[in-house]
Structures are given as C-alpha cells and as structure tokens.
Structure 1
Amino acid sequence: MRRVLCEGERLGLRDVTEADVAALHAVYGDPAATQHLPFTPRDLHEVTALVRQAMEAACAEPRRLYVLAVIDAERRDVIGVARLRIEADHPHSAEIGFGLHPGQWGRGIGTDLVRLLLKFGFKQLGLHRVWGARSPDNLPAQLAMLTAGMVEEGRIRHHLHTPHGWRDSIVHSALEDEWTER
C-alpha cells in the first residue's frame, strides 16, 4: 500500500486514520458543513465506520478510493476531508469531493484544497481528467473550483436523491494538459 502525503503552502493531505474520527465528525456531523451534501449529518458511529472503510480501501490493489484528511500546515490539525475516486471503467479519470469545518470557511482554504487535489491527481496519480459535482446552491464550492482552474461543464438534472428530494448537480473538470500548478 502506498501512503498518501501531498503538501501545499497552507494545507496537506494524508490518508485518514482512526485518530481522525473526532475531527472528521466535526465536519460530517455538522449541519452547516453537510447542507449541500446528499446525506444528513453523520453520528460518531457512522464516521467511525466511514474511516474504517477508507482504511480498507487504502489497501486495495489497484487503489481506486482515496479518503484524505485535510491538514492545516501550520497547526498540523485536521480541518476537513477530501475524497478522490478513480473511475473503474476509466482509470485516467477521477471524481473529487471535499468538506471543510465551517470555522475554515471564507479564507480561501477551499480553493487551496481543490488545487492540492488537482496536484495530487495529476502529478502523483498521473490522471488525465479530474472532475467534481456540486450542489447548484453551493456557491463557495463553485468559486473554489473555478478559481483553482476547473471549468464548469454543465448540469446533471435530478442527479442525487437527498433527504430533501432530488437535487441537480453542476459538474466542473480539469484536464491534465490544460492544468497549470499555481
């Protein structure tokens, strides 16, 4: 198993561990942090199970799922979670997703996180395409992805069923040959 370590100026990414459960619960269990996600806030037991599943996925060969702790580079604490899932039928393409603790919002951390995920995907994994889907109402995610260099591709209608009903998704992507590390 290859351990993930990817560092940027303000953030780092590494594989999640059981020691991260409480910090990840602060994101997955927060109603504000999950308002644009297709599930209700998770309890501690559910987050523990998610971390265990992520640790099992880290041992898979070939590895297709990366669930990563987002680390504040200065304080070294976990401030969020990021996912990168390589598509089974298209192994040069991956979907990203991310969530940050609400205390981190409004500081450009989301943009830095998307840039770091793109760097990880293109430089460390050798991907050709990285994409992500967001809620149409999630304007901070839109700004983060666009500022990081992703292109808005379009809308998938009634893409996800959420606790509040069907939700559209807006898809953004970046291509390896168009991406420049900033």
Structure 2
Amino acid sequence: MRHVEISGKRLRLREVTLDDVDALHAVYGDPTATEHLPFDPRTREEVEEGVVEAIKAAEAEPRRLYVLAVTDVDGGEAFGVARLHIEADHPHSAEIGLGLRPDHWGRGIGTDLIRLILTFGFRHLRLHRIWGARSPANTAAQLAMLVAGMVEEGRIRHHVRARGAWRDSIVHSALEDEWEGHRDV
C-alpha cells in the first residue's frame, strides 16, 4: 500500500481512517450536503462500512480506489472527502468525486480541492484523463470544476436514480496535456 498525503496552500488530503467516521458522517449524513449526490443521506453505520471498504481498497495491488479525508493544511478534523477511482479497463483514466460539509461551502474550497485532486492524479499517479459528473442543478460544482481547469463535456441522460427519480449528469474532464498543473494549488 502506498500511503497518500498531499497538501496545497489551504488543504491537505490524507488517507481516511476509522477516526474519520463521525466527521465524514457530518458530510454523508447531511441532507443538504448530499442534495446533489446520487444517494440519500447515509447512516453512521453506512459511513463506517464505506471507510472500512476504503481502507481495504488502499491495500489492493494495483490500487484503483483512493478515498481521502480533506482537512485544513495544518491537519485537524476532516470536513470533507475526495474520491478518485481508476478505471479497471482504462488504467490511465479516473473518476473523481467530492463532498464537503456545508459550513465550508462558498469559500473556494471546492475549487482548491479539485485542483489538489488533479495534481495528485496527474503528477503522482501519472493519469491521462480525470473526469467527474455532477447534478445539472449543482451550479456550485459546475463553477468549481470550470475554475479548476476542467472542461464541460456533455450530459448523460438519466444517468443515476436518486431520490426516487432518474437524474441526468453533466460530465467534466481534464486531460494531462491540457491541464495547467504549473499553477500552485
């Protein structure tokens, strides 16, 4: 297993641990934080199961799943999570996802987080393509992805079933040869 820890100007990403369950439940269990995610708010037990799965996935060889706690650059309690999943059939491509506690919204943290995930994927994992999907109604995620240097590719119709209804997804991506990774994160 390769231990992951990467820092930017304001944020730090590190491996999730069982000590993060309550902090991550504050994200995944919050109806506001999960409004645009493709699942209903999760129970504490469901979040704990997810953390256990992430810890096991960190031991896989080759490693395909990175679930990282988001903290301030100086550390402290997690207030978010970043996920990077390398595609098995296309090992130079990965999907990202993120979640932040609502009290951290509106301060550019989402943009910084996406830049940090892109830095990790392109510089450390040597990926070629990194993509993410968002709810069409999630304009904050749209802005964060665009400002972070991702390009809006298009719409996947009826991509996920969330809250009892089909929902489209808008896909954004960044390519290693187009990415402006020289900018400080």
Structure-1 separation of matches of 2:125 and 2:70: 18
Tell me which stretches of 4 or more aligned residues in structure 1 moved more than 2 Å: 74-77
TM-fit CA distance, 1:164 = 3.1
- Name 1:156's counterpart in structure 2: 156
List aligned pairs for 1:27-46, cutoff 5 A. 27-46=27-46
- Name 2:133's counterpart in structure 1: 133
Structure-2 separation of matches of 1:163 and 1:60: 32
2:120 is paired with a residue whose SS is: helix
* Amino acid of the structure 1 residue aligned with 2:171: V
Aligned-pair Cα RMSD in Å: 0.8
1:19-41 per-position Cα deviation (integer Å, ceiling 9, x unaligned): 00000000000000000011111
* Amino acid of the structure 2 residue aligned with 1:10: R
List aligned pairs for 1:1-182, cutoff 5 A. 1-74=1-74, 76-181=76-181, 182=183
1:41-90 per-position Cα deviation (integer Å, ceiling 9, x unaligned): 11111010000000000000000000110111145321100100000000
* Amino acid of the structure 1 residue aligned with 2:163: P
Structure-2 separation of matches of 1:15 and 1:160: 27
Structure-2 separation of matches of 1:75 and 1:118: 20
Q: Which structure 1 segments of 5+ residues have no match? A: none
Structure-2 separation of matches of 1:116 and 1:164: 33
Structure-1 separation of matches of 2:73 and 2:5: 12
1:84-139 per-position Cα deviation (integer Å, ceiling 9, x unaligned): 00000000000000000000000000000000000000001000000000000001
TM-score, L = length of structure 2 = 0.97
TM-score, L = length of structure 1 = 0.98
Structure-2 separation of matches of 1:69 and 1:90: 25
Aligned length: 182
